[in-house]
């Protein structure tokens, strides 16, 4: 064994939600709590904003033409909105002052026409923006889900299912509005703001300068609010993910919960999580409740000052009444974008907080990829050879390898049984064959091909696995069997079920092959689930078969039916059998005895039983004395 060997690279697995999070601050007044830990705007923020949005817009790029049309509609709508105060000015200065009924009718007609065009444009822009938003979310979820399926088992051992589902659901939904509606709404508000400022500058520059004096204060409040909400939103998403993970675990293990009468305990745990989420949400509400009205106060105070100063200008004859009314309308039109900027900025920050979690997952690379020169594995006979294979899981607290210099060869059609005490490395060894993990050292060959030099899909398509705890999906019986061969005919499905001793009990079910099995097959017994798994494997028709304690948890009657089905399944296939009950593997062609990650004995049953002081002999004697007694 050489020192300094390379270790299996560890994936930057997603940290379990609910880990190290900033504690909620306590003490201090409301403003102190609101501004606690809120960093001032800096270049880092602008960098995050640019990078985050640039990555999000990759998903929008295919639909830029539709968004461009929506932007044209939106721009036209905003420009028409700018005409409204001008129309009001004409009504006050012309129709009212001169009592001109014809002019009043003409102006009102123009106003109605503007409203009609705005309604048509509003429908067009809303529909296009919503369509693109839904399509972007669909594509992002598809990409994220496909990426999850590309991750190795090591990743899922470190991640929590509830957290992954939260990123796939809640976080992606939070991004939706930001990548479409928020951008175009920002454009609309900018047009209103800039257009309004230009118009009132031309109309009354003194009043305009007075009104704009409050803008820097409003902008500062908006930036502080946005930075704070982004941070709080990230905490809220993490807390929500932790809550989803907790609920998923408890509901998945509901039998254990009920058997220990721990329903109140689980309910209290979930309630505590809800309270933590509520506390975080309350911080966000408090920030908006304080800073939003503060910005509004500044804006409308400016309007009051403008009204006072503008009235003096009218009295002095430098403005008409219509101009003052129009100016006030434009001022409120400008104040509206300022308030909208605050809301849009908050939405943007929330979306960027969610996007960080989504891209953190997308940036986690699959540990195992096909080599650039990998070839498709042709149909195999089933020869498997381990050459000096060592392996560890890369855990920092692990002091020894799970497998150490394992060498063995199994010929096509042979049955190789793996036995040994718990923790000897049996399951780890068979998990290396379909490349669920890669060896730390050495290599594995199938029909002479190094499995690291062939395409994983072509390898796994020729391997079948029947585990101890059968995993069924929540569809029908037929859906679960056909998973072994998606294009199988009904005759092939039923033939596989017959060979698995499953056809008769399936026909006795309420809807036969169309009977739903429930989540994880909960509506079926253990023996029924196992026989469906065997039928699924038979339909796949693999050349290499892995049986991991396939009958250990069954009653005698079910075990007999399953054992008969397994014998049909194993026929003419290279089979690896993990077994604790040695009576089930006496007839194996080759028995491999593992202890401490090493092969300590191997050979047929009779030879191993004849070894004085051998581990297999001791295990066999211990088991059979216990069974006989």
Per the CB < 8 A criterion, the answer to whether 320 and 314 are in contact is yes
Least-confidence region, from 28-32, 228-232, 289-293, 319-323: 28-32
pLDDT for 226 equals 62
| Lookup: tokens for 233 | 């939103």
315 pLDDT above the threshold of 80 = yes
How far apart, in whole angstroms, are the C-alpha atoms of residue 471 and residue 490? 22
Query: In which element (H, E) is residue 499 found?
Result: helix 490-499
15 pLDDT above the threshold of 60 = no
385 pLDDT above the threshold of 90 = yes
pLDDT for 387 equals 93
- Kindly state the percentage of the chain with pLDDT values over 70: 79
11 pLDDT above the threshold of 50 = no
How far apart, in whole angstroms, are the C-alpha atoms of residue 551 and residue 469? 10
How far apart, in whole angstroms, are the C-alpha atoms of residue 502 and residue 520? 18
Burial class (CB in 10 A: 0-12, 13-18, 19+), 257: middle
Nearest to 549 by CA among 568, 533, 538: 533
| Lookup: tokens for 342 | 């605050």
C-beta atoms surrounding 598 within 10 Å: 16
22 pLDDT above the threshold of 50 = no
SS (H, E, C) 268-337: HHHHHHHHHHHHHHHHHHHHHHHHHHHHHHHHHHHHHHHHHHHHHHHHCCCCCHHHHHHHHHHHHHHHHH
How far apart, in whole angstroms, are the C-alpha atoms of residue 318 and residue 339? 31
605 pLDDT above the threshold of 50 = yes
The band of 619, judged by pLDDT with boundaries at 50, 70 and 90, is confident
Mean pLDDT across the stretch 409-428? 89
Mean pLDDT across the stretch 315-331? 80
C-beta atoms surrounding 349 within 10 Å: 25
Least-confidence region, from 30-44, 315-329, 480-494, 607-621: 30-44
Mean pLDDT across the stretch 195-201? 83
pLDDT for 29 equals 41
Nearest to 175 by CA among 13, 47, 55: 55
Nearest to 244 by CA among 30, 430, 16: 16
- Angstrom CA distances, 46 to 54, 57, 345, stand at 12, 16, 13
567 pLDDT above the threshold of 60 = yes
How far apart, in whole angstroms, are the C-alpha atoms of residue 292 and residue 286? 10
* Residue 513 per-residue DSSP state: G
Q: Please, which residues have CB within 8 angstroms of residue 58's CB and are 6 or more apart in sequence?
A: none
pLDDT for 46 equals 53
Give per-residue pLDDT as tens, 521-530: 778 887 888 8
Burial class (CB in 10 A: 0-12, 13-18, 19+), 303: middle
Residue 449 exposure: Cα atoms within 13 Å on the Cβ side? 21
Domains of the chain plus CATH, in order, are: 52-362 (1.20.1560.10), 375-462+546-629 (3.40.50.300), 473-541 (3.40.50.300)
35 pLDDT above the threshold of 60 = no
381 pLDDT above the threshold of 70 = yes
Burial class (CB in 10 A: 0-12, 13-18, 19+), 380: buried
> What are the beta bridge partners of residue 391?
403
Nearest to 509 by CA among 527, 528, 534: 528
443 pLDDT above the threshold of 90 = yes
Give per-residue pLDDT as tens, 121-153: 889 888 888 888 888 888 888 888 888 888 877
Please give the mean pLDDT across all residues of the chain: 78
Give per-residue pLDDT as tens, 52-109: 667 777 778 888 888 889 888 888 888 888 877 877 777 777 666 666 777 777 878 8
pLDDT for 111 equals 81
The pTM (predicted TM-score) of the whole model is 0.65
How far apart, in whole angstroms, are the C-alpha atoms of residue 239 and residue 252? 20
pLDDT for 571 equals 84
540 pLDDT above the threshold of 90 = no
pLDDT for 58 equals 79
Mean pLDDT across the stretch 610-627? 79
Per the CB < 8 A criterion, the answer to whether 321 and 201 are in contact is no
pLDDT for 449 equals 93
Mean pLDDT across the stretch 428-438? 90
Mean pLDDT across the stretch 197-202? 84
Mean pLDDT across the stretch 213-239? 69
322 pLDDT above the threshold of 50 = yes
Per the CB < 8 A criterion, the answer to whether 575 and 547 are in contact is yes
pLDDT for 390 equals 92
629 pLDDT above the threshold of 50 = no
């Amino acid at each position: 064994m050489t020192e300094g060997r390379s270790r299996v690279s560890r994936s930057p697995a997603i940290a379990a939600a609910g880990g190290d999070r900033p504690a909620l601050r306590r003490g201090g007044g409301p403003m102190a709590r609101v501004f606690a830990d809120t960093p001032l705007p800096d270049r880092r923020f602008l960098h995050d904003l640019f990078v985050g949005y640039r990555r999000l817009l990759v998903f929008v790029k295919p639909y830029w033409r539709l968004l461009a049309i929506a932007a044209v509609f939106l721009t036209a709508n905003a420009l028409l909105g700018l005409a409204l105060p001008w129309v009001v000015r004409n009504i006050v200065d012309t129709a009212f002052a001169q009592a001109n009924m014809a002019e009043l009718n003409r102006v009102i007609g123009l106003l109605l026409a503007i409203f009609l065009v705005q309604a048509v444009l509003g429908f067009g822009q809303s529909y296009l923006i919503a369509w693109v938003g839904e399509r972007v979310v669909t594509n992002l979820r598809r990409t994220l889900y496909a990426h999850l399926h590309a991750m190795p088992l090591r990743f899922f051992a470190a991640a929590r299912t509830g957290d992954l589902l939260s990123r796939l659901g809640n976080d992606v939904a939070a991004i939706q509005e930001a990548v479409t509606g928020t951008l175009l709404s920002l454009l609309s508000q900018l047009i209103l703001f800039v257009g309004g400022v230009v118009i009132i500058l031309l109309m009354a520059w003194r009043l305009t300068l007075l009104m704009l004096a409050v803008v820097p204060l409003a902008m500062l409040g908006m930036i502080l609010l946005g930075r704070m909400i982004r941070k709080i939103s990230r905490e809220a998403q993490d807390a929500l993910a932790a809550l989803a993970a907790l609920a998923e675990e408890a509901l998945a293990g509901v039998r254990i919960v009920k058997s220990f009468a721990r329903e109140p305990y689980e309910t209290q745990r979930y309630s505590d999580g809800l309270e933590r989420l509520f506390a975080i949400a309350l911080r966000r509400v408090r920030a908006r409740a304080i800073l939003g009205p503060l910005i509004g106060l500044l804006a409308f105070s400016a309007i009051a000052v403008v009204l006072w100063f503008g009235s003096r200008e009218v009295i002095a004859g430098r403005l008409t009444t219509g101009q003052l009314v129009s100016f006030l309308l434009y001022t409120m039109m400008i104040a509206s974008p300022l308030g909208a900027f605050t809301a849009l900025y908050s939405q943007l920050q929330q979306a960027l907080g969610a996007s960080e979690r989504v891209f953190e997952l997308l940036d986690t690379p699959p540990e195992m990829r096909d080599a650039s020169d990998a070839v498709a594995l042709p149909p195999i006979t089933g020869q498997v050879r381990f050459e000096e294979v060592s392996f560890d899981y890369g855990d920092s607290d692990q002091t020894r390898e799970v497998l150490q210099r394992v060498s063995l060869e199994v010929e096509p059609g042979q049955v190789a049984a793996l036995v040994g005490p718990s923790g000897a490395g049996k399951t780890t060894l068979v998990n290396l064959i379909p490349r669920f993990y890669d060896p730390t050292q050495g290599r594995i060959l199938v029909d002479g091909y190094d499995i690291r030099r062939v395409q994983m899909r072509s390898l796994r398509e020729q391997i079948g696995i029947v585990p101890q705890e059968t995993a069924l999906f929540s569809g029908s019986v037929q859906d679960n069997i056909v998973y072994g061969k998606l294009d199988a005919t009904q005759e092939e499905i039923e033939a596989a079920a017959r060979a698995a001793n499953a056809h008769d009990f399936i026909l006795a079910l309420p809807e036969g092959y169309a009977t739903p099995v429930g989540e994880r097959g909960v509506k079926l017994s253990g023996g029924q689930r196992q026989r469906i798994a065997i039928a699924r494997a038979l339909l796949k028709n693999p050349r290499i078969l892995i049986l991991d304690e396939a009958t250990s948890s069954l009653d005698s009657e079910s075990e007999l039916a399953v054992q008969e089905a397994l014998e049909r399944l194993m026929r003419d296939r290279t089979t690896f059998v993990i077994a604790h009950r040695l009576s089930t593997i006496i007839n194996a062609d080759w028995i491999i005895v593992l202890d401490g990650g090493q092969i300590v004995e191997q050979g047929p049953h009779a030879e191993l039983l004849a070894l004085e002081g051998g581990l297999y002999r001791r295990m066999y004697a211990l088991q059979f004395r216990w069974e006989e007694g």
